Chain A
Amino acid sequence: MKSARRTTRPLALAAATLFGLPLFISACGATPGASSSEKVTEISVMDYYNNEPDKSFIGDALTSCGTQAGVTIKRETVPGKSLISKVLQQSSSKTLPDVLMLDNPDLQQIAATGALAPLSDFKVSTENFAEGVLSAGTYKDKVYGLAPTVNTIALFYNKDILTKAGVTPPTTWDELKAAAAKLTAGEQYGLAFNANPTYEGTWQFLPVMWSNGGDEKNIDSAETAQALELWTDLVKDGSVSSSALNWTQADVKDQFLAGKAAMMVNGPWQIPALDKQPSLHYGVVKIPVREAGQTAVAPLGGEVWTVPQTGNKARQAKAAEIVACMNSDEKQLSMAKARNTIPSKTTLADKFAVENPKLATFTELIKTARARTGELGEGWPAQATKIYTAIQTALTGKASPADALKQAQGQ
């Protein structure tokens, strides 16, 4: 009897391990099988606003939209860098949230997988949005995501340093070069931008490339080469530190804050940090164009809200209500003001610019801003890699700007 018991116990244990473990694992990945007729009381949301104050601003907007739609919001915030891997993981285990926030250049990538539902399925209005905003949210002629507020980059300048040197904010490349050279003295550089080997480096280069008529489809063009020449010249003549090759946009902001750069290329999200230093007086202008008369084309930044294909129509409809509410005029204005971003509806632009003069330049830029994925869609990451590779090759002097672009395009 004793020996028999001794046999069965480990056997049962082994059986439990062998069969229980896979069962347990598969149970973890199982979808909460809910019928579409049930009443939806809770909507899950995932975004990457995991730092204050954005976390609360977005959280408050979501909560109020939830109340309006009669549901409670179950929100999860993840760090920006791990959002995409998390989304991919969830899409393979079919556990995507009801409402998902994505960085706009990632939208088409995710929409292409089939994991997102077109917003037209739920009659979400896409009227009055800026063209760039819609093209960022569109995949194969259908809108999958809408950004309530957006951003872009412009030229910040230190008013005190410029006045002292008798320099006015530049509007053309020649003026920019002259101003940057004049403002470079001792430990102070005339300009700071980032040209690091990541998409951030590409992003900062896009304004000069696009404004000059360059196109991402083929970067081996005279227009793009001219733009890269500007970047290269600025580094070569010492107006921009060669550290730009390794700086992030946050580093660029630190240089500007410390007075080590008289001007910088950066976005409105840096404004709270700049405002914390009362001794700093700064202004914002559009990034200069090559010749007077060219239109400044800025790259569009910001996050879109989407409705993933969770397979539950009732929940998806409620989720679409939340997305529509987040994109309502009222929410766009309040979030834009609180977060130093720009409302994505052009109809709100004038009113917003008057009420928020600090953001006026950015508001103006958004009207003509271009989405990075507008032309290439899923092909953007590969081409963006080529762009920053060319920038790095030219800036380190390994090849002339034109050759660097040719090499990169051919890769």
Chain B
Amino acid sequence: MSLTTDASRTASRAGKSGSGKTGSGNSRAGKAPAGVTLAPRRGTRARRERIFQWLFLVPAVIYMALFFGYPVVKNLVMSFQDYTTATFFTGEAPWVGLANYVTVLSSSLFSTSLLNTALFTLGSILGQFVIGLALAVFFQRKFPLNGILRSLLLLPWLLPLIVSSAVWRWILDKDSGALNRFLGELGVIHTGVPWLTSTSLALIAVVGVNIWIGIPFNLTILYGGLQEIPDELYEAGSLDGATGWKAFRHITWPMLRPVVSVVLVLGVVYTLKVLDIILGLTNGGPANSTQTIATQSYELSFHEFKFGEGAALGNVLVIISLVFAVLYLRASRRAVDE
């Protein structure tokens, strides 16, 4: 845009100077026609450049429209329709306005799911972050096998979630699970703890597994952030007596702040939408005690075939995520500014 205006401004300036000084008939007047003939050529060139600019954008725009725009719009439209299995064949989906939202939000399950989603997200983020940060600080030190241990910690990240949840489901089994066996051998417990089948423990167990899965992400990003902090700061700090906890409190933490906000906000968005781990471990049970908005939306769409209601609930989740995404964008902009 700016290019065209520049070009036209140059052209008009050339024209003006030409007409204004024709009478004087000196070298300037001689230049004027040249300027006039130059103007259209510059104009086409600018236009061409502008076209190129747009052309370079085309692949990205098509990609965004196809893979982000279309699903979002489709999901939004779907949430206002009575979208059933029949819709797929006939293409007919009657408009029902806000009915899907009313059904979903007034369902007795919604408050349970919302609370579970909040507890699950909060618990997971807190655990992942604290343990991830502690490990990141720990791996800052130089000791043998540091690299190997650090890469081993990435393991939960490399395993397919469905595998992780199957293994954890076995570990947490009440009767023959490895965890209960271990605790039993230690003499801590005498009867099997129903990790996944007690309404009061299941959510805690699921959060625990999700923390295990999330640690590598937190560790990696925070470790990267720590590497960026110049050693001189610590050297200078130690001269002033800032070592150990003081060094962490006054040097590490303030320097790490931008990375921390990014990790936390991304973590929240990732955790809100967790589906496979919960489905793999408990299927939302027992008695809905691990049912989150994500699992309920999946259930509505793909088990009960109420695609409209599933989409409506999905959009509620999108809106919640969006709040955090906006926070992330603001946080990352601030990080860049700093």
Contacts and interface: CB of A to CB of B under 8 A. Distances in A.
B286 A392 contact: yes
B286 A396 contact: yes
A385 interface: yes
Contact of B304 (A7, A382, A395): A382
Given A7-B48, A113-B90, A243-B197, A260 B176 contact: yes
B219 interface: no
A382 B59 CA distance: 43
Contact of A241 (B48, B175, B305): B175
Contacts of B194: 242-243
A259 to B, nearest CB: 12
Chain A interface SS verdict (over half)? helix
A89 B305 contact: no
B55 A14 contact: yes
B176 A246 contact: no
A246 B288 contact: no
A245 B195 CA distance: 11
Nearest to A93: B88
Contact of B288 (A85, A189, A382, A392): A392
A189 to B, nearest CB: 8
Interface stretch (A122-130, A173-181, A196-204, A361-369): A196-204
B175 A187 contact: yes
B111 interface: no
Interface string A82-118: 0011001101100000000000000001101111000
Interface in B275-308: 282-289, 299, 302-306
Given A199-B303, A245-B197, A91 B89 contact: yes
Instruction: Identify which of B197, B284, B302 gathers the most chain A CB atoms within 10 Å of its CB.
Output: B197
A115 B85 CA distance: 10
A381 interface: yes
Given A18-B58, A245-B285, A114 B88 contact: no
A411 interface: yes
A380 to B, nearest CB: 10
B85 A21 contact: no
Given A10-B55, A392-B285, A381 B85 contact: no
Contacts of B116: none
B4 interface: no
Instruction: Identify which of A14, A17, A196, A245 gathers the most chain B CB atoms within 10 Å of its CB.
Output: A245
Contacts of A17: 58-59, 62
Contact of B286 (A14, A91, A110, A245): A245
A260 B87 CA distance: 47
A197 B283 contact: yes
A393 B90 contact: no
Contact of A92 (B48, B91, B196, B304): B91
A306 interface: no
A179 B169 CA distance: 29
A398 interface: yes
A294 to B, nearest CB: 29
B198 interface: yes
A241 B199 contact: no
Contact of A115 (B89, B107, B175, B286): B89
Nearest to A114: B89
A227 to B, nearest CB: 18
A376 interface: no
A23 interface: no
B85 A398 contact: no
Contacts, number: 110
A14 B58 contact: yes
B239 interface: no
A11 B55 contact: yes
B48 A398 contact: no
A21 B285 CA distance: 44
A77 B44 CA distance: 58
B182 interface: no
Nearest to B196: A246
B85 A113 contact: yes
Contacts of A382: 304, 306
B188 interface: no
Contacts of B27: none
Contacts of B299: 385
Contacts of A110: 85
Nearest to A381: B304
Contacts of B305: 109, 381
A389 interface: yes
Contacts of A13: 55
B88 A113 contact: yes
Given A85-B302, A242-B197, A392-B286, A114 B86 contact: yes
Instruction: Identify which of B85, B90, B169 gathers the most chain A CB atoms within 10 Å of its CB.
Output: B85
Contacts of B107: 411
B52 interface: yes
A311 to B, nearest CB: 12
Interface in B173-198: 173-176, 194, 196-198
A257 B286 CA distance: 25
B26 interface: no
A197 B85 contact: no
B108 interface: yes
Contacts of A396: 197-199, 286-287, 289
Contacts of B306: 382
Contacts of B87: 113
Given A10-B52, A114-B90, 12 more contacts: A14-B58, A17-B58, A18-B58, A88-B85, A91-B88, A109-B85, A113-B90, A114-B86, A260-B176, A382-B306, A396-B198, A398-B199
15 contacts: A10-B55, A11-B55, A17-B59, A91-B89, A113-B86, A113-B88, A197-B285, A198-B303, A241-B175, A246-B169, A246-B196, A392-B287, A392-B288, A396-B199, A396-B286
- The 5 lowest CB-CB distance pairs between A and B, nearest first, are A197-B285, A113-B86, A113-B89, A245-B197, A392-B287
